[in-house]
Structure 1
Amino acid sequence: MASTASSHRSPIPPSPSSQSSPLHRLSTFKDISSAAAAATAASTTSTAATPLESFSSDPVFSAFLSPGFSAAQFSSQALSSGSAAARAENLHDGIRLLEKQLRSEVLSRHHDLLGQLSSLKDADAALSVVRSGIATLQSSLRRCRQEIADPRRHIRLKTLQLSNLHHTLELVQSTSRVLRQSKKLRDLMEISGTDPEKVDLAKAAQLYSEILSLCEDNSLAGVALVDEELGWVGGSGNWLRSEAMRVLERGMEGLNQAEVGSGLQVFYNLGELRSTVDGLIGRYKNQGVRSIGAALDMKAISSSSSSSSASVAASTGAGPGGIQRSGTPQIGGGVRAREGLWVRMNHCADQVHSIVVSVWHLQRVLSKKRDPFTHVLLLDEVIQEGDPMLTDRVWEALVKSFANQMKSAFNTSSFVKETFTVGYPKLYSIIENLLERITRDTDVKGVLPAITSEGKDQMVATINLFQNNFLAQCLKLLTDQVNNVFPVASKGSVPSKDQISRITLRIQEEIEAVKLDGRLTLLVLQVINKVLLLLAERAEYQISTGPDGRQVTGPATPSQLRNFTICQHLQEIHARLSSTLLELPAVASNVLSPSMGAMYGIACDSVTSLFQAMLDRLESCILQMHEQNFGLPGMDASMDNNSASPYMEELQKCILHFRKEFLSKLLPSSSTNTTRGGTETICTRLVRRMASRILIFFIRHAALVRPLSESGKLRMARDMAELELAIGQNLFPVEQLGAPYRALRDFRPFIFLDISQLGSSPNLQNLPPSAVLHHIYSRGPEELQSPMQRNKLTPLQYSLWIDSQGEDQIWKGIKATLDDYAAKVRARGDKEFDPVYPLMLRLGSSLTENAQVPQNL
């Protein structure tokens, strides 16, 4: 083979190392072959560059160099060009050119190709040597396999035998442990034959669980002795579950933490804690849903409450239990059905309370108890992260069921709808008491409550349909009463006292029915607020605002009498509701504040114009004192000492007329200051303000009287006494007027004091500073003009200016007149001022610092 290969070698002589071995020659062949191939490729590329370039520039052959060349498309174009024969000739020329180029390439690389052929022969010889070596190696491997096969087979058999022995030993040991644990369980269960209460259920459950675990982990199924024992163990497990459930349920019913913990521990040892708790929760859910459904089972309510009217039901074609399709009991059974419905609702609330508290108690024990060996919290075994609490699951189901039942009853049963609408406060009270009981019974420090505030709101929201209907009916009922009392199209019709009393009583009954619950009270008060606003609006429409309502010279006109009646009605409603609100929280008053304020304002408006007109007339009477001459000496000799001034007599007549014709109808009681429940009425307030204003107005103008002789002072004092008597007897007790009365009382002795006594008189503290200073003008010289004289104002104009100013501004006007007087004295060259000048300066500065503005109407 070597000689044959050497005869075909290439002309290039091989190196000596290339002849050392066939494998080495093979690698040498690969190197030479690679180099030759690379050289040939380079030469070919260089030689073929020219034809390829010519092809790429040729418009026909360049299409064959495109990667997306399509023979069909090229042929189609050639045929459609009309020169197919010329195109075919061009293609033949191109083919001949390519063949010529190929032939040229082969001839130019003839020696290289012969060298490559020699290298292939050398490679074939090398491969023959390798095949021979591989055959020898395979023969050696067969001999080795023959020599080690028997020991390996022997070892495998021994290993299998050892494994079987080991497995058999494990089975025997496991079976022995199962039998021992089973014997312990038997010994423990034998106690149950005499007294089941003495059995340690938790330990028995632990043994039971270990037996099943041993059988499952060691695959003991099929062992006859074990299978026989497992039959008894399975029965024991059922007994354990039954006893543990009995203990658990008893503990939940009695809220006994020890019993609940014992039952839970048994199921934890059995490995069935989560499934058992889930089953319990499902049972309690179903029990609550059934209880809620039974509470609103109108067929059962009717059958239990109207058995006496079964014959009537049969004759009228009613359904079972005397219930009609609309859900309304037959005649005669409605009252009993209504009572039965409330009884069932209370019973349902009791059951829901029991269920929620029991589930909460179970959750409480789970959150506290840990396994004594693993110290695992049992709650973590039942509830995974992100799962709702047990009480939340049950409460959600109960709320959903209750909401569905309430909605269904509202839409399908007119009887339930009417009963729960009319008795919504009672229905709400049942729900509120339920939530309060659950909260109270599950309020334990360190333990989550059974229901959250959000959960409470969800339960309350289930009866919102009846709440809205209740409020709507309440609004309609009260609005109808207002419309009956104050018809929209009838002006001039005044309701009677009984009608107003019925409206007020109805409003008080609505408040009384819900006052035990703050939330419902506020809702009802919002309805009442709308009704009172409507009532105030209707009453305002009935008020007469024309001249007839303001006249005070004649008897009361029909328009005034109607205004008086409306005022008294609104005042009555306001007073009675105000006394009712005293029993409620302050927020209740805030809800009714808009309507109560509106009623009070309209009641005031109905008579305020009358009082203002009367006050204007009384003031005009007082202004007539400036037409009297109080400065003539000895004027008392020409007049009766026991008679009052003409202006005072007219004032008394006006007051008496006002009392007789108006106040007697506005204040029908004997006392002019009658109040209700300690609260001043509108009319007494207006009378009091009128009386106070008359006293202040009289003092103001009495102080402006100038000149004022000694006899004039006596006459003024007598007028004051007459004024006090007229007001006290006909308007308001003067001793209850406060500051105005004290001012009148102190002004009377003040006018009789000497100038030297004025500055230290105790009467100054109760008199307005302006009245004191104005009176002192009457003690001074004529050139000391008062602000009224200085500005040439009438008494009325000056009085109006005083009403619009404070004591400090009045003092500024007085101070200006004092400055004018001082300038005149200095201009004359006099060295002394009249004694009233320094007195007025001193009193004006001191009195105005702490002056109090008198109360005006």
Structure 2
Amino acid sequence: MDEKVLEEFRNDRAYEIFLNEEFDAKQYANIIIASQEINDSLQKLSAGINTLDRELHSQVVAHHDDLLSQATSIEALEGVLKMMQSRIESLQITVGRIQKKVVDPYKMISSRTAQLRNLQIACDILRCVIRVLYLSRRLDGQLQGGLKELTNAAQSLNELDYLYNSMDLTDIQMIEQDKQKIEKARQSIENEAMLVLTDGMKSQNQTKVATGLQVFHNLQKLQLILQKVIEKSCNNLESCVCETLDPNTHIQSRSTGPGRAVMPTPGNAAAWRVSLWQGMEKLMGNIYETCVQMSVLEKVLFKKKDPVTHLCFIEELLKDGHPTVMAAFWKKVIFILTHELSRATEDNTFLKQTFESEYPKLLRFYNDLWSRLKPYSVTIDQVTTVRLGSVDYDNSVFSVPLITPVMGKDDVFNFPAENELNPELALRDSLSSFENAYLTRSLSRLFDPINTFFPDTAKEPPKREELTNIEKTVANELNAASVDTRLSLAIAKNVSKTIRLYCAKCERLIVTNSNAVQLTAAMTGAQTRNATVINSIYYLCTAVSKVIHSGNFAPQTIEVVEPAIQSALNMIKEAVEPLVKAMSKTIEAMILKIHQEDFASEKTENQIAKSECSSFIKDIQRFTDRIKGDYLARLDCIEIVDEMLNSLASRVLELFIRHISLVRPISDAGKLKIAADMAQMELAVGSICTKLSELGKSYKVLRCFRPLLFQTPEHILGSPALGENLPYFLVLNFLYSRAPPKLPSPYKASKWTEKEYSEWIDNHPDESERLGLIRETLDNYIQSVRVSDNKVLPPIIVVMQKILLKASSHRRGRFTTGILTSQMSLDR
């Protein structure tokens, strides 16, 4: 069609509707009639038809030759179709002849095949019937053979079951009577096998147990029977547990109203407890006996093998995902104990109180049970990995095993691998509620006396008699818990908390103001109170320490308590330390008076012979004697006081030698006076320490320093003690006393006092820093000498330079030695 004509129809609304593929003539006619424009529509349609006729005529004229050629092709196609039709008819005739030749033989073959199949089925049924009759007669003979033929009878029954299940033998009258007889025989065999198995477990006869297991294995009921055995044993134990925990089982109880718990009469409480513990002892015995029976069963399962597959019975169970016998049984035992104990104690408060208050006794029964079972615990002589299908198994009691052990001769429990359930802990955890309650009560028993002795208004610590009560309570708690290591550790933690609580209470009583550290007058009330508190803490520490070391307690228990004791002793040290520091400051102030003494004047021999020690030495002697007699003698912690006094004595000697080295100038009479002071200082320090020889380096410095007073500088330079027992800076400070007056001492060059210089030395423990200050002062003096007219250095200055050089080389030598030692360690 010409595009113009087509476009004209598309743009005309009257013709546009006819181009729609979903055009409905009836709908169009209804619309025209409804619009009452029929004449106009007919005219429009007539004009459109004329237009189409003209367009068709023009198309025919334009394609006249093509239309003629298409008409010729249609005639040829009709000829081809006729030829194909004739060939199809011929083919149908041929297929019909072939069908007649195939159908009859096929029907004959199908008939013969059905006959053959029926013959085979009949033969199979006859063979099964013959085999059933034979096995039935053989079963009769085996049943007459007793226990020896029991496993063979079970095997015959197994084969009979296979025959009945593999073939439909219903409605065969010949074997109907045999079928009933077989069912009776099955029941008889199962009952007899169960009796043999049960008797073997009770008597621990592995042969009988093996016979029973083999019978049920042959009957394909091994797993089912094991479940029944475990269930029956657990039910018996559950009944025994319920009976033991039932208050009515024990001594006659008084009548109570409905809804009230059964309670023992007041006069029968003790007898009720005795009966309860006897029942618990019997219960533990029943659990033990049942565990041993289960162990025998499991041992046989590990040893017994299927004669056909040669696999152990246990492996056949494990490959189906079932746990071992002991795993299943022990889990149920733990569940029964946990559940029944919880239920019984909820229903009867007296029973709950008995178990909580006498928990160590209850725990002892459990520990005795486990100690009896422990000899049967697993002894894995050899571990071999077994692959069953696509799953690895072990010998774990409480889970599907991953490895299979070669069992020892007395194996009951297979200790689990890491992160798996521990049978002993599982048994212990069934008592966790009672243990927690007992520990809470124990802590309360330990805390109550302390809280009673320390009310909010307390100003004094408890008396010795009251502390003795705390000591007895601690001893009683530890002794009661000694039946079990784990319980002992828990009680030991409570004891540690008790000691820390007591120390916390005492700490609030300690006075820390100035009255507690005054040393000028008699002891104040604050100092007396502190001494009483310290003695109270020390008494408790020594008492508890005596308890834990004199008793037969595990080392772990002692290790738990000792840190708390040590913490209390440290608290004592902290309480005594302010007083010792005050002593140290007072003695240091007395030592500073050495610089007010006259060591430069010369005296005659008579004056020297009559001379006494310096006055500050006498002050120190009087002070130390008074403090030790009036203050420290009231403290019972002699070891702690001696330790702190030894440190104080060492500090006093160190300060004394330091300030002696700063004295300048010193005459010959002054040297003798210093020597006398040193001798008297030894006596003064000896009165406050245990042994002077235990003071260490400070006492060695004192002993080595005294000869320096009378030695020449050259002798001092060659002294073997220089750099070893005598520090270089100390000797150099002393040599300033022999130096020219123009050479100022290091502290004067820095414009310090003797006290400030001593404090600087304390704050700079590195000797190189101390020597650096001395070197600076010495270098300044040497520089001033070089610029003066007299450029010759005094001999003492040369000696001091050599000592500084020796100190530097000594320090480098130690540094090199340290490097070589480290390198040798690395080489090794």
Q: TM-score, normalised by structure 2?
A: 0.76
Partner of 2:672: 714
Task: Determine the C-alpha separation between the residues in 1 that align with 2:124 and 2:110.
Answer: 21
Deviations 1:303-345 (Å, cap 9, x if unpaired)?
45423xx5xx14xx368xxxx9345433133333334444444
Alignment of 1:414-453 (within 5 A): 414-428=349-363, 430-431=365-366, 441-445=376-380, 446=383, 448-451=395-398, 452=416
Q: Which residue of 1 aligns with 2:446?
A: 478
Does residue 1:772 correspond to 2:731, yes or no?
Answer: yes
| Aligned counterpart in structure 2 of residue 495 of structure 1, from 425, 443, 462 | 462
Name the counterpart of 1:403: 338
Letter in 2 for 1:191: G
* Contact 1:277–1:382, Cα closer than 8 Å, also in 2: no
3-state SS, counterpart of residue 542 of structure 1? coil
Using the TM superposition, give the Cα deviation of residue 658 of structure 1 relative to its aligned residue in structure 2, in angstroms.
Answer: 0.4
Kept in 2: contact 1:215–1:221 (CA 8 A): no
- Give the match for residue 577 of structure 2: 608
Structure 2 match to 1:656 = 625
Residues 370-407 of structure 1, C-alpha deviations (whole Å, 9 max, x = no match): 31223344335434544444444334433333333343
**Residues 239-248 or 384-393, more deviating:** 384-393
Q: Deviations along 1:202-240, whole A, 9 cap, x unmatched?
A: 333222322443455455555555444445544443343
How far is the alpha carbon of 1:174 from its aligned partner? 4.0
CA drift of 1:271 comes to: 2.0
The answer to whether structure 1 residue 550 and structure 2 residue 517 are counterparts is yes
> 1:191 matched to which residue of 2?
145
Cα 1:557–1:156, aligned 2, differ >3 Å: closer, same or farther? Answer: closer
Of 768, 771, 778 in structure 2, the residue corresponding to residue 811 of structure 1 is 771
Larger mean CA deviation between 584-593 and 543-552 belongs to 584-593
Q: Deviations over 1:256-302 (max 9, x none)?
A: 5554433322212122222222322332343344344344x2xx3x3
User: Which of 573, 593, 599 is the matching residue for 2:568?
Assistant: 599
Aligned mate of 1:798, from 757, 761, 777: 757
**Is 232-241 or 215-224 further displaced after alignment?**
215-224
Q: Which residue of 1 aligns with 2:218?
A: 269
> Could you tell me how far apart the structure 1 residues matched to 2:584 and 2:276 are?
64
Q: CA deviation at 1:698?
A: 1.7
Deviation at 1:426, TM superposition (A): 4.6
Of 685, 691, 696 in structure 1, the residue corresponding to residue 649 of structure 2 is: 691
CA distance in 2, matches of 1:208, 1:794: 115
Alpha-carbon spacing, 1:339–1:698, altered in 2? closer, same or farther (3 Å): farther
Distance in structure 1 (CA, Å) of the matches to 2:712 and 2:98: 160
Does structure 1 conserve the Cα–Cα contact (< 8 Å) formed by 2:445 and 2:473? no
Deviates more, 1:796-805 or 1:86-95: 86-95
Partner of 1:564: 531
Percent identity at matched positions?
26
Aligned counterparts of 2:675 and 2:771: Cα–Cα separation in 1 = 26
Shift in Å at residue 701 of structure 1? 1.9
The letter for the 2-side match of 1:284 is S
What is the one-letter code of the residue matched to 1:559? A
- 1:699-710 matches, cutoff 5 A: 699-710=657-668
Aligned residues: 765
Question: Which is worse superposed, 473-482 or 49-58?
Answer: 49-58
| Residue equivalent to 1:279 | 228
Distance apart, 1:773 and its partner CA: 3.1
Shift of 1:510: 3.8
Verify the 8 A CA contact 2:226 2:325 in the aligned structure 1: no
Structure 1 residues 633, 431: closer, same or farther in 2, change over 3 A? same
User: Are the aligned partners of 1:544 and 1:606 in contact in 2 as well (CA < 8 Å)?
Assistant: no
For the 8 Å contact 2:771–2:804, the answer to whether it is kept is no
Structure 2 counterpart of 1:448, which letter?
N
How big is the shift at 1:555?
0.9
Alignment of 1:301-380 (within 5 A): 302-307=247-252, 310=253, 313-314=254-255, 317=256, 325-326=260-261, 328-356=263-291, 358-359=293-294, 362-380=297-315
Equivalent-residue separation in structure 2 for 1:141 and 1:702 (angstroms): 142
Determine the C-alpha separation between the residues in 2 that align with 1:253 and 1:69. Answer: 98
Secondary structure, counterpart of 2:264 in structure 1: coil
On the 8 A contact 1:625/1:647 being kept in 2, the answer is: yes
Instruction: For residue 644 of structure 1, give the secondary structure of its aligned residue in structure 2.
Output: coil
1:603-626, Cα deviation, whole Å (9 max, x unpaired): 233222222112211121222122
CA 1:795–1:135: 2 relative to 1, 3 Å: closer
Among 577, 589, 594, the alignment partner of 1:625 is: 594
Aligned residue identity for 1:812 = G
The one-letter code sitting in structure 2 at the alignment partner of 1:702 is I
- 1:739-762 CA distances to partner (integer Å, 9 max, x unpaired)? 333333333344344444434445
Match of residue 407 from structure 2:
none
What is the CA RMSD across the aligned residues, in angstroms? 5.2
Q: CA deviation at 1:547?
A: 1.6
Paired with 1:334 and 1:73, the residues of 2 have a C-alpha distance of: 108
Q: Is the 8 A contact 1:439 1:449 kept in 2?
A: no
Task: Give 1:570 deviation, angstroms.
Answer: 2.4
2:434 to 456, 466, 469: 466
Residue pair 1:652, 1:726 contacting (<8 A) in 2 also: yes
2:746 — aligned with what? 787
After superposition, the Cα gap between the structure-2 partners of 1:794 and 1:144, relative to the gap in structure 1 and judged at 3 Å, is closer
Deviation at 1:368, TM superposition (A): 4.9
Task: Give the secondary structure class of the aligned counterpart of 1:615.
Answer: helix
Following superposition, the deviation at residue 563 of structure 1 comes to: 0.9
Q: 1:772 to 1:568 in 2, by over 3 A?
A: farther
Partner of 1:29: none
Q: Residues 640 and 409 (structure 1 numbering): CA distance in 2 closer, same or farther, change over 3 Å? A: farther
Structure 1 letter corresponding to 2:692:
V
- Structure with larger Rg: 1
Q: Which amino acid aligns with 1:573?
A: L
Q: Could you tell me which amino acid in structure 2 is paired with residue 693 of structure 1? A: R
**How far apart, in 2, do the equivalents of 1:428 and 1:303 lie?**
23
Q: 1:515 to 1:724 in 2, by over 3 A?
A: farther
Q: Match for residue 158 of structure 2? A: 209
Supply the distance in 1 between the matched residues of 2:487 and 2:30 (Cα, whole angstroms).
95
Determine the C-alpha separation between the residues in 1 that align with 2:791 and 2:115: 154
C-alpha distance after superposition, 1:231-257 (max 9, x if no partner): 554444334323333343344445555
Structure-2 change in CA distance of 1:690 and 1:93 (3 Å): same
What letter corresponds to residue 769 of structure 2 in structure 1?
Answer: Q
- Measured in 2, the distance between the counterparts of 1:88 and 1:284 equals 108
Q: Which amino acid aligns with 1:648?
A: I
Partner Cα separation in structure 2 for residue 428 and residue 88 of structure 1: 117
SS in 2 for 1:333: helix
Corresponding position of 1:5: none
TM-score (norm 1): 0.73
Mapped contact 1:773–1:844 kept (Cα < 8 A): no
TM-aligned CA deviation for residue 57 of structure 1: 7.2
Matching residue's letter, 1:632: S
- Distance verdict in 2 for CA 1:405–1:240, change over 3 Å: same
Name structure 2 gaps, 5 residues minimum.
61-69, 384-393, 399-415, 815-828
| Structure 1 residues not aligned, in runs of 5+ | 1-45, 668-672, 675-679, 852-857
Give, in angstroms, the shift of residue 464 of structure 1: 3.5
Q: Distance in 2 between matches of 1:449 and 1:205?
A: 32
| 1:119-155 C-alpha deviation (Å, 9 max, x unpaired) | 99xx99x99xx99x9999999999999xx89x989x9
* Distance in 1 separating the partners of 2:175 and 2:625: 120
Could you tell me which amino acid in structure 1 is paired with residue 590 of structure 2?
C
CA deviation after TM superposition for structure 1 residue 813, in Å: 2.3
Do the aligned partners of residues 630 and 54 (structure 1) sit closer, same or farther apart at CA in structure 2, a change above 3 Å counting?
closer
430 and 708 in structure 1: CA distance in 2 versus 1, 3 angstrom threshold: farther
What is the distance in 1 between the residues matched to 2:23 and 2:658?
125
| 1:550 Cα offset (Å) | 1.2
Q: In the alignment, which of 237, 246, 251 is matched to residue 195 of structure 2?
A: 246
Are the aligned partners of 1:822 and 1:833 in contact in 2 as well (CA < 8 Å)?
no
- Does structure 1 retain, via aligned residues, the 8 Å contact 2:611–2:673? no
Task: Report if the CA contact (8 A) 1:566-1:603 is conserved.
Answer: no
Aligned to 2:388: none
